[in-house]
Amino acid sequence: MTIKLVIVVVRSGDHDALLRHLLDAGFRVTQFSSLGGFLRRKSATLLVGVPAEQLDDALAVIRQTCPTPPDADEHRATIFVLNAGQLVAI
């Protein structure tokens, strides 16, 4: 099974809703506080291990929960998708 690691840097005010929606959709999520960089403010970073065939579903949840208004200069989340060698749950 191919696993993807989705890293989501999300604005502090949006992380609770995103975490809840990802968990409700059955994804396993780890959250931690972060600061600076991409959003230039206090934020949260979520790590989501996703089977490759469910990647589009996870991205859809993120996009629906944190939409960027069409005329906005800022975005509400930054998403990285990485290949993970394997997911081991102990």
Q: Is 3 exposed, middle or buried (0-12, 13-18, 19+ CB in 10 A)?
A: middle
Classify residue 74: in a domain, yes or no.
Answer: yes
Give the pair of three-digit tokens for residue 45: 């970073």
CA–CA separation, 45 vs 78, rounded Å? 9
* Residue at 41 is within a domain: yes
Q: Name the residue range of residue 69's domain.
A: 3-84
The reported pLDDT for the residue numbered 86 is 72
Domain count for the chain: 1
pTM as predicted = 0.86
User: What is the CATH classification number for the domain harbouring 52?
Assistant: 3.30.70.120
| Domain assignment present for 39 | yes
List pLDDT tens digits, range 28-83. Answer: 999 998 877 655 678 899 999 999 999 999 999 999 998 877 777 777 889 999 99
Q: What percent of the chain has pLDDT over 70?
A: 94
Is residue 64 domain-resident?
A: yes
**Domain membership flag for residue 53:** yes
89 lies in a domain?
no
